[in-house]
Structure 1
Amino acid sequence: MEKTIHQGRNVKRFREMQGYKQEAFASMLGEDWNQIKISRLEAKEEIEPELMEQIAQALKVPVEALKNFDEEGAINIIANTFTDFKDNAQNVIAMNYYSAVNPIDKWMEALEENKKLYMALLKEKDEKIALLEKLSSGKK
């Protein structure tokens, strides 16, 4: 038993995937189109080749996609290629790894260390000056 592909449903799916309402899609097809005609078009199992070409151009998809898209086949492909999180956990962790080192925090730590060293240097200089003043006043 050969399964026929409902071309009208495919038009509807591609229209919805692109976010077009029936009214907007009707205006894309021309002035003689309206929401009711789009609804009827999407109910058709088979669409005329010339009209299918016009629809494909409006939706910017290949005609073959509208003619041959099979939702069950697409669902099977997705189901067969889906991997569970636990199977893929290490890959996810590796992809989401980022350094916990914040460069701004490191910069601030370095500035604080520089400040402490500078203050110690100034204190030592003041002590040397005081010692030299004491020595020079003792010689006089």
Structure 2
Amino acid sequence: MAETLHIGRKIARIRELKGIKQEALAIDLGVTQQTVSNIEKSEKIEDEVLDKIAKALGVPADAVKNFSEEAVFNYFNSFHDSSTGDFRHHCTFNPIDKIVELYDEKVELLERLLASEREKVELLRNSK
């Protein structure tokens, strides 16, 4: 068993800080949302389960075991980016444009696949 003070609350808080919903975590783990809810209510969980959850959350299991709100605030308060001297980070692309670009690429790929399938059908018809 993982030795912690209410590991379920720590899991829930890390999940929330990462912006992950219980449903999404459940899908990653291959369990139901209710199972994730029950895990988050548990004071202790087995190390094997903790390892799977930590992996799904993208953090080491030790980070979950040692998680504290104070540590999070200390980390962010001590963080600085010496290259810019400030905390301003700007998105370098328009997310909507990126979605449209990906959609267009997918449509183009599907059109090529469809053309290839049509060629195969035509070849089969001509070989008879």
What's the TM-score once normalised by structure 1's chain length? 0.48
Alignment of 1:90-129 (within 5 A): none
Kindly provide the CA deviation profile for residues 13-40 of structure 1, in whole angstroms up to 9, marking residues without a partner as x: 111112111111100001xx11111111
Pick closer, same or farther for the CA change 1:69–1:62 going to 2, 3 Å: same
Other structure's SS at 1:57 match: helix
Q: Residue in 1 aligned with 2:108?
A: none
For 2:66, give the aligned amino acid.
N
Match of 2:35 in 1: 37
Match of 1:15 in 2: 15
SS in 2 for 1:19: coil
Question: Please, which runs of 5 or more residues in structure 1 have no aligned partner?
Answer: 82-94, 97-140
Inter-partner Cα distance in structure 2 for 1:45 and 1:55: 15
Counterpart of 2:23, as a letter, is: E
What does 1:82-97 align with in structure 2 at a 5 Å threshold? none
Q: Quick check: 1:49 aligned with 2:43?
A: no
1:46: how far off?
A: 1.1
Change (3 A) 1:73 1:61: closer
Equivalent pairs counted in the alignment come to 78
Which consecutive unaligned segments of at least 5 residues does structure 2 have?
79-84, 87-128
Deviation at 1:5, TM superposition (A): 2.2
**Aligned-pair Cα RMSD in Å:** 2.6
The residue aligned with 1:61 is 59
Per-residue CA deviations over 1:52-94 (Å, capped at 9, x if unaligned) read 000111111010011111224555x47x97xxxxxxxxxxxxx
Secondary structure of 2:23's counterpart equals: helix
The equivalent residue for 1:106 is none
Counterpart position of 1:5: 5
- The normalised TM-score by structure 2 is 0.52
d(CA) in 2 for partners of 1:48, 1:60: 18
CA contact (8 A) 1:5 1:69 kept: no
Q: Which residue identity is paired with 2:43?
A: E
Q: Amino acid of the residue matched to residue 16 of structure 1?
A: E
Alignment partners' CA distance in 1, 2:19 and 2:71: 23
Which structure would you say has the larger Rg?
1
Equivalent residue of 1:27, what SS?
helix
